[in-house]
Chains A and B, each alone.
Chain A
Amino acid sequence: MAALGFSPSDFYYLLPELILTAGALLLLLVNVIVPRRDDLLFGLSMGTLAVSTLVLLSFAGVDIVISRGLLAIDGFALFFKLIFLVSAGLTIMMSAPYLRVEGVRAGEYYFLILCATLGMMFMASGIDLITLFIGLETMAIAFYILAGYLKPSHRSNEAAVKYFLLGAFSLGILLYGMSIVYGMTGSTRLDEIAVALAAQDRSLVLSLGMILLAAGMGFKIAAVPFHMWAPDVYEGAPTPVTAFLSVGSKAASFAMLLRIFIEGLAALTPDWQVVFAFLAVVTMTVGNIAAITQSNMKRMLAYSSIAHAGYVLIGVVAATERGVVAALVYLWVYLFMQLGAFTVITMLRRRDVVGDELKDMSGLFARSPIAAVAMLLFMLSLGGIPPTAGFMGKVWIFGAAIDQGFIWLAVVGVVNSAISLYYYLRVVVFMFFREETTGSEITIGPALATALAVGVVGTILFGIYPQWLFDQAQNAAALFGSTASSAMLR
């Protein structure tokens, strides 16, 4: 074993991932042995996530490199893995009632969710381009299938094909960037890349590699101009998958982006700051303006999700510990508000109503006050109005930008968040100010109620008392990179 560079302790630190793998495989077996027991699959997958989370939490404070420098078990990874596990759990809670209404068997569905989560976890831990890439592939392939899971639906099929084609294309670009960086530095390990880059002059080829990496990551976080796939995929995919895609996949891609650029390409910081500043501005602006005109909730949230990637990019541009903390805080609070909003949309899906059009929100307050008030909270939070978590996230992000002198970027950011309120409030108008109602009664089952409650509690708690979150993010960002080069975090 030693020859391969693995030691027993490596397996210990990979326990959360191993548990997920075992759970996922068990799901496949159970599906074959006792078919048509969706409730059993649901319970198993939730249990797997819970055990994995518990084990993961026991690694708090750990900061080591395992597997011969391929993976880092640090605070940064822990923080992101928590985001993935929580969002996977909420997604599954949304999925059970959703699949029932759609009349689709769970089958491999939960297995795929766990696989995607597994991929994400390696994206957060990877400190080697190869590991990161494999994690990304694992996640992406699971999502290609999940996007097309509603086999009879044309929209779902279209989403899967689009996502697959553009995803494959973007992975190609990313891989090309990686190979250039490897060629220039002779290593795929981020810490070695950082050292090699610090020692050499900048060259055109290197810049090309950096830009290709940025473009590849841009696809994954759905930054403009690499966002074309997002609205169609978000609209067509099953609603819980869309939710998971917009939170989990985005957070994982940001984890990978932060690792690669802040840790690996630290020497090129001024260069990629320019690139990401440009991406942040167009991403926020295009995302928000396009969202205004949407009449479909999922499409609107897709564009809004694009805009939010732009806000997080501001934190990346700041390229300081404060900036990283801001990005982490933002991704964490985004988890609650975005998944909460999707939970409400899932609720509106009934046998006779698709429920994802804006007009389906009409009179929601009269029919289900709890859902409407929760949705109000999520919308205000997405728009950054206190006392919600979204506000605290934005304060951090804009603070990081101002701290580093990117005042113009902060100005663009706040103007954008004001624009965004226009379409978030439109949802409120439909829910509270309009009376007409369509379709059958809205029922909130226990799974959806739990998911909604988690969303509401997270959105309010981190808005009123964010100290705990700030501490965790601070720890995560402080540990971040201490295992690798750690050269550039000021």
Chain B
Amino acid sequence: MSNAAGFPLLSLILFTPLVGVVLLLLTDRRQEDRIRWIANATAGAGFLVSLPLWFWYDTQDAGWQFVERLAWIPSIGAEYFLGVDGFSALLILLTTLMGVIGVLSSWTAITVRVKEYYVFLLALQTGMLGAFMALDFLLFFLFWEVMLVPMYFLIGIWGSDNRLYSAIKFFLFTLVGSVVMLLGILAVYFYNHSVTGVYTFDVTQFHQLNIPDGLQWWIFLAFFLGFAVKVPMFPFHTWLPDAHTDAPTAGSVILAAVLLKMGTYGFIRFSLPIVPEATAAFVPLVVGLSIIGIIYGALVAMAQKDWKRLVAYSSVSHMGMVMLGMFALTPVGITGSIVQQLNHGISTGALFLIVGIVYERRHTREIAEYGGLSKVMPVYATIFLVMTMSSIGLPTLNGFIGEVLILQGIFVVSKFWAFVAASGIVLGAAYMLWLYQRTMFGNVTNPKNEGLPDLSMREIWTFVPLLVLAVWIGLYPKPFLDRLETSVDNVMARVSSDYTPRLAAAGAQAGQREVPSGTAGAQAPVRGGTR
């Protein structure tokens, strides 16, 4: 464990949005433009201070990096304990980037109660960042639940027609899952005490526990409920279409790009390494639900008349794919799962922005209301095309990399799963292309669409980073994969007892277990297959 920055970098990233919150609170609510500038500046600063996580991250260090550790509640062993590995570092960067985009995209969309809006958006940012950084389970849970409140307000105040229902549904679904998860956390906490005699919520310590089988099962189920609601996995997904549809654009973008990743992050960070045997035992259940989610989400998406709801259901399908790759429990599958999490953030985030733009102009999300938009909004149509291709996994774009890794990862486990996943991809292509065809191609049939203005400079800038990332990951994913290597190794070492970390295999890491010859080569496809 180390902190290469030499100063509390993670705390800086974590609390930058809160500084913005304080500044906003001190600003007069009528000065709306000043409020917007402050919010944008804060989000921008938040992204800038997080950049060292990319540049200073040491891909050869298998331990936790940028670690900060302070006593918090000593009597119960809770600590202010932050640290990242490659996985969480990438999610943090995604979060700060989406923060900028979310704030920027709200400039003209939000015209009422502007001050509160940005306060909640920035507070949400801190909650999300904290959850990705915390290595203390209680601290993690604190941030995890803190996120609910600002999101509840974002949907409830600035949402569309059915906002109150959607907001409370989002809140209660997630809450039920997470309070049960809390019991799982407490069970691990007391088990750890019974073994070591120390009260601690230290996740890195929990990663070394060998919990007996019966208890593992219960803990896995408790965690599962918390994380599966958030992902969301079928059949816990029903809050998602409502929340997404009714949330304001920035809310949907953040929800899709970051909040859903909380669930998958939770699985990889907590479920897999803390209860590995139970994880293995529950593979059939999780895989089964993931496959249902993939197919069901895609079919329901195809039947949607509401543009935003369609994208929401596509999330269910894509996140099913992410879970499938993860529960293949192979290094390639988990790597693919993580890459696909980033991809989903990029492409679905962009798709929600795209819906938001026409919604702001026309105040309707009915697909039938649109048609032939490529004639009046060519720039918009081009960006939409790229993002559609990214979403359906066209080679040279990011989605392809993730899908190939996932398919490769599960193919070695089960050809049937791989087949189902592949069919999910085909269905995904079908509903996305059909959506594109109905909204963009042909002639402008609805006179209301004739005068629609194309993207403004500000709107284009909300897409630029996402386009860059989509192409970058699509063409040259190596920097991303390098950062994930040790994270995936550490998880794999827990879920599979005969697994040899690749770093150890390369001999780069002193003190790791001895390498049986030949195993190092077995992992080569991860890199080879993605170039």
Q: Does B171 contact A (CB under 8 A)?
A: yes
Interface residue SS majority, chain B? helix
User: Does B75 have its Cβ within 8 Å of any Cβ on chain A?
Assistant: yes
Inter-chain contacts of A380 with B (CB < 8 A): 149
CA distance A429 to B183 in the complex (A): 29
Whether A386 contacts B146 by the Cβ 8 Å rule is yes
Known A-B contacts A386-B145, A391-B142, A402-B190; A421 and B172 likewise in contact (beta carbons under 8 Å): yes
Contacts of B76 in A (CB 8 A): 399, 470
Knowing A386-B146, A398-B186, A474-B75, the reply to whether A433 touches B168 (Cβ < 8 A) is no
Contact with A along B425-438 (1 / 0, CB 8 A): 00000000000000
| A418 with B175: CB separation less than 8 A | yes
Q: Taking the complex as formed, is A42 at the interface, i.e. its CB lies under 8 A from any CB of chain B?
A: no
| Contact of A387 with B by CB under 8 A | yes
- B121 within 8 Å of A by Cβ? no
- A395, B145: Cα distance in complex, Å: 13
Q: If the complex has contacts A470-B75, A470-B76, are A402 and B186 also in contact, measured as CB distance less than 8 A?
A: yes
Contacting residues, chain B, for A398 (C-beta < 8 A): 182-183, 186
Indicate with 1 or 0, residue by residue over B144-173, a CB within 8 angstroms of chain A CB atoms.
011011001100110000001000100110
User: Smallest CB–CB gap between A270 and chain B, Å?
Assistant: 21
Which residue from chain B places its CB closest to the CB of A384 in the assembled complex?
B179
Interface of A is mostly: helix
**B142 contact set on A, CB distance < 8 A:** 386-387, 391
Chain B nearest CB: distance from A448 CB in Å?
A: 22
Q: Let me know if B146 and A387 touch, CB within 8 A.
A: yes
Cα A425 to Cα B175 in complex, Å, equals: 12
Per-residue interface assignment for chain A, residues 371 to 395, with 1 indicating a CB less than 8 Å from any chain B CB and 0 otherwise = 0000000001000111100010001
B38 to chain A, nearest CB (A): 18
Nearest A residue to B142 by beta-carbon distance? A386
Contact A399 B75 (CB under 8 A): no
Q: Which residues of B contact A107 (CB under 8 A)?
A: none
Q: Which of A385, A399, A403, A407 contacts B145 (CB 8 A)?
A: A385
Q: For the complex, give the distance between the alpha carbons of A386 and B176 in Å.
A: 15
Are B146 and A399 touching (Cβ within 8 A)?
A: no
Bound together, the chains give a CA A310 to CA B449 distance in angstroms of 59
Shortest distance in angstroms between B370's beta carbon and chain A's nearest beta carbon? 30
How many of chain B's residues have a CB under 8 angstroms from any CB in A?
A: 31
Whether a CB of chain B sits under 8 angstroms from the CB of A415 is: yes
- The answer to whether B164 and A417 touch across the interface, beta carbons within 8 angstroms, is no
**Best-surrounded residue of A385, A403, A466 (most CB of chain B within 10 A):** A385
Question: Given A386-B142, A386-B145, A467-B74, does the pair A414, B157 have CB atoms closer than 8 Å?
Answer: no
Using known A-B contacts A386-B145, A433-B164, determine if residue A421 contacts B156 with beta carbons closer than 8 Å. no
Contact present for A418 and B145 (CB under 8 Å): no
CB-CB contacts below 8 Å: A410-431 with B: 410-411, 414-415, 417-418, 421-422, 425, 429
Q: Which of A417, A425, A474 meets B171, CB within 8 Å?
A: A425
Select which of A385, A402, A470 is within 8 A of B149 by beta carbon: A385
| B62 CB to nearest A CB, Å | 31
Interface presence of B515 (CB below 8 A): no
| Residues of the B chain whose Cβ atoms lie less than 8 Å from the Cβ of A422 | 168, 172
Q: Is the CB of A402 within 8 A of B183?
A: yes
A399–B189 contact, CB under 8 A? yes
**Which listed residue, B73, B148, B156, touches A467 by the CB 8 Å rule?**
B73
Question: Roughly how many angstroms separate A432 CA and B149 CA in the complex, as a whole number?
Answer: 13
Q: Are A432 and B157 in contact (CB under 8 A)?
A: yes
User: Could you tell me the distance between the alpha carbons of A266 and B189 in the complex, rounded to whole angstroms?
Assistant: 28
A102 sits at the interface (CB 8 A): no
A467 → chain B closest CB, angstroms: 5
A471 within 8 A of B: yes
Q: Is the CB of A421 within 8 A of B183?
A: no
Instruction: Please name the residue on chain B nearest to A434 by beta carbon.
Output: B164
Q: List CB contacts (< 8 Å) of A344-395 with chain B.
A: 380, 384-387, 391, 395
Q: Interface digits, A185-211 against B, CB 8 Å rule (1 contact, 0 not)? A: 000000000000000000000000000
Q: Which single residue of chain A is at the shortest CB-CB distance from B180? A: A414
Residue B138 lies at the interface, judged by CB distance under 8 Å to chain A: yes
**A 118-140 to B, binary, CB cutoff 8 A, 1 in contact else 0:** 00000000000000000000000
A-B contact sample (10 more), CB < 8 A, given A418-B176, A418-B179, A432-B153 = A380-B149, A386-B145, A386-B146, A387-B146, A391-B142, A398-B182, A403-B190, A410-B186, A422-B172, A466-B73
A-B residue pairs, 7 tightest by C-beta: A414-B179, A386-B142, A418-B176, A470-B75, A402-B186, A418-B175, A467-B73
Residues of B bordering A, CB below 8 Å: 72-76, 138, 141-142, 145-146, 148-149, 152-153, 156-157, 164, 168, 171-172, 175-176, 179-180, 182-183, 186-187, 189-190, 218
